[in-house]
Structure 1
Amino acid sequence: MNYPEFRPPAERAAVIDLAAIRHNVRHLAHVVSPARVMAVVKADAYGHGAVETARAAVEAGAAWLGVAHISEALALRAAGVTEPVLAWLHTRNAEFGEAIRANVDLGVSGWDLDAVVAAARELEMPARVHLKIDTGLGRNGCPEDLWEAFVGRALAYQEEGLLRVVGIFSHFAVADEPHRPETDEQLRKFREAVAVAEDAGVDREVRHIANTPGALSRPDAHFDLVRIGLGMYGLSPFAGQTSAELGLRPAMSLKTTIAACKEVPAGQGVSYGLHYRTKEPTTLALIPLGYADGIPRVATGAPVQVDGQTYPVVGRIAMDQMVIDLHRTGIAGTADSFEGREVVLFGGEGQPSVDEWASAAGSINYEIITRISGRVQRVYVDSAADDDASAPPIALEAAPGAQDAEGEQAQAVQAK
């Protein structure tokens, strides 16, 4: 007799709502239409699970997938994902041949062009490449003064049948601060670079520079394709604006249960360094998540929700655990004890937010979700709240001077 597999409840879980991911992709696709969407699933989809997230994003209309490393792209291919995938960050040990064989597009901006061509020559199979221009971020990307020659080299290789120039792209530096003028300058440089490439004979399929903040605040930057990362996971890239104000739903909720409760007297020190001492007799609750699970060690004071009530973390966060002060007595060891009750560190509506944890850690919401470690089980759900596929777009007011691709003043809807 075959028995169903027994799967105990997760002790620690990052609960991923695939309906939220689909909602966010559809919403952002509406915002950037007629441009298409590239769903960025690098870093295991910002901790959400690359394969599951990629499939949900494609179901919602994402036309492309984006990763940093070739190994991430190959893992998608191994899982049966067939949509176009772009990988753009390479080292000398990158598996260019395997990428070409798996039909993975490659971002190139310097030495990597020749390395990709060498692999293509050996395989006798052309590579698909996106040429990257550095418009101001100062990381990878071809410098402006070398761009014309770089494009010429790529076209020469294309004439040999060793590659196909599929796209031209760049990366914004300050689009999450919509009123900074550097974005205008980056767009000017990008348009000039595209013009140089097209004049030289590049017949590209896609131009892309906008990330999530660019998608929401710079309609003039949408071009043919927009790369959405943080927004797909339902988080806001803008200081002072919430996910809900942007029409997004957080997809990850981080949960566990209380491991133990203990009655302590006034003056009890808590955790390493004893930087917190109880002011009166109280009950301390032990939360079995710590920095080995990706929780920032410095995030003392961050919110933890139990039974709908929020408590700050007290004392130093340790490798495997943290403590909250319940500010009541007479419950440990009784029928009303808190052992086993669900704990939510962050999540969606009505729960503490990732942004609150980022603030407590002196960091950003990107880092909080991405660093949740593999020790925390990913649990996938599909909520029934996926019912507003046609929600109207919500975006920031366009930055002053923002121009669309034809040079007309861009318009956007002010988020409420």
Structure 2
Amino acid sequence: MKALASTLLAAPGTVPELCVDLDAVAANTRLFRAATDADVMAVVKADGFGHGALDLARTALANGASWLGVTSVAEALPLRAAGLRAPVLSWLNPVDGDFASALAADVDLAIPGIEHLEAVCAAARATGRAARVHLHLDTGMARDGASPALWGRLCRAARRAERQGTFRVIGVMGHLACADLPGDPENSTGRTRFAWGLDVARASGLRPAQRHLAATAATLTDPRSHHTMVRIGAGLVGIDPSGTTSLQPGLRLTAPVVSIRRVRAGTGVGYGHTGITTTATRLALLSLGYADGLPRAASAGAEVLVAGRRCPVIGRISMDQTVVDLGPTGRAEPGDLATVFGPGDDGEPTVADWAGWANTIEHEIVTGIGARVRRTRIAKPLRSLS
């Protein structure tokens, strides 16, 4: 704890730092608000995709979003504790989740099956508070949500619960498996299954005011999937899985150069000597590693921006350290800042670059930055929110 405290109190530029650009988040939110006639749910799960859930939520609500979405009840409650009153939906909870606390905080709950329905009904009876629920249909991912075979039974049970006064079906939701590939036939299958699910719900006597299927990629590429609400998470922070739209990245990661050493050609670097210098060169040490979110799998191809030029990582990324080859004439000195990733405006690598080097997706990079990295933010003052 002492080590962490000293890191958090260190002077700017002396420790790795993640700068969150909330103005970029604001611009992205406005883009999505203009792209649809549906309500916009800002998905702030996983600590706001690594950008800070509360900051992301406040910024999105101030720029056109009207709902908030999270996975667990544990992610929803801090939003309420901070005073945010917008509707909040939590859609991934165990059957013995803390539904009583959710109901007390006016958090909507997704219902993927009969067991969850019964658990939420029990919480509603125990607390005397009717639950607001969104029935979740599996539209083709074999993941969360009720299977089509069980959907009719779930809808009928939900209608009985409505008549008993234990809860209200506010919405029906689904998720497209291949929305990042706009031409994939699975998207048509998902839309068709969702439309069928809505028909079954209505035939059961349900009248869900909100119907939501589209996340970021489908919102950008498939208006047929918008219905009454769209759920935007990755898009808020500058990630477009469909690759069709230019969004503004929200993060810049920097780290100071701890030390410089001159080495001869043929010098092995790091564990296993997976990196070997091909010429006499200067090596820079950064106090940042895979414990801080740099993917070890990116070691062989990654670069950072140091003293105005891209320099390759050499050797394996370690838990706490990364070595960069400055070249024999590199101008960096101890104390200089290396930019690990950013928007790319100054030639620095982007989150997309790091995802490519690690053979993963941008989402994994932005959500993986560790707690040792100091957070700062850029933002215009937000108007007060009710």
Q: Tell me the TM-score normalized by structure 1.
A: 0.86
Establish whether residue 366 from structure 1 lines up as the match of residue 370 from structure 2: no
2 CA distance for matches of 1:362 and 1:383? Answer: 35
Question: Does residue 280 of structure 2 align to residue 281 of structure 1?
Answer: yes
Gapped regions of structure 1 (runs ≥ 5): 1-5, 387-416
Contact 2:19 2:252 in 1 (8 A): yes
Given candidates 91, 97, 102, the residue that maps to 1:99 is 102
Match of 1:55 among 55, 58, 71: 58
The question of whether the paired residues in 2 share the 8 Å contact of 1:27 and 1:247 is answered with: no
Q: Does 1:382 align with 2:385?
A: no
Partner of 2:5: none
Deviations 1:81-109 (A, max 9, x none): 11111000011341100000000000011
Q: 1 or 2, which has the higher helix percentage?
A: 2
Equivalent residues, number? 370
Q: Could you report, residue by residue, the CA deviation over 1:258-314 in whole angstroms, capped at 9, with x for unpaired residues? A: 111111111111110101111111100011110110111111121201133111211
- Aligned sequence identity (%): 42
Distance 1:186 1:280 in 2: 55
| 1:4-403 equivalence runs, <5 A | 8-9=11-12, 11-32=15-36, 34-110=37-113, 111-238=115-242, 241=243, 246-300=245-299, 301-329=301-329, 337-350=332-345, 351-382=348-379
- Where does the alignment leave 5 or more consecutive residues of structure 2 unmatched? 1-8
Worse-superposed segment, 255-264 or 196-205: 196-205
The one-letter amino acid paired with 2:19 is V
Q: CA deviation at 1:160?
A: 0.9
> Helix, strand or coil for the counterpart of 1:339?
coil
State the alpha-carbon separation in 1 of the partners of residues 159 and 203 from structure 2: 12
- Conservation of the 8 A alpha-carbon contact between 1:168 and 1:208: yes
Kept after mapping to 2: 8 A contact 1:17/1:383? no
* Structure 1 CA distance for aligned equivalents of residues 64 and 380 of structure 2: 19
The structural deviation recorded for 1:13 is: 1.3
Q: Which amino acid aligns with 1:346?
A: F
Deviating runs (4+, > 2 A) in structure 1? Answer: none
Cα deviation for residue 135 of structure 1 reads 1.1
Q: Helix, strand or coil for the counterpart of 2:208?
A: coil
**Structure 2 residue identity aligned to 1:363:** T
How far, CA to CA, are the matches of 1:337 and 1:20 in structure 2? 30
Q: Give SS of 2:297's match.
A: coil
Query: Which deviates more, 138-147 or 48-57?
Result: 138-147
**Deviation digits for residues 220-276 of structure 1, max 9, x if unmatched?**
1011100011111012213xx3xxx61310001111111111111111111101011
TM-score for the superposition, normalised by structure 2: 0.93
Amino acid at match of 1:365: E
Cα-to-partner distance string for 1:165-191 (whole Å, 9 max, x where unaligned): 000000111100111101001100101
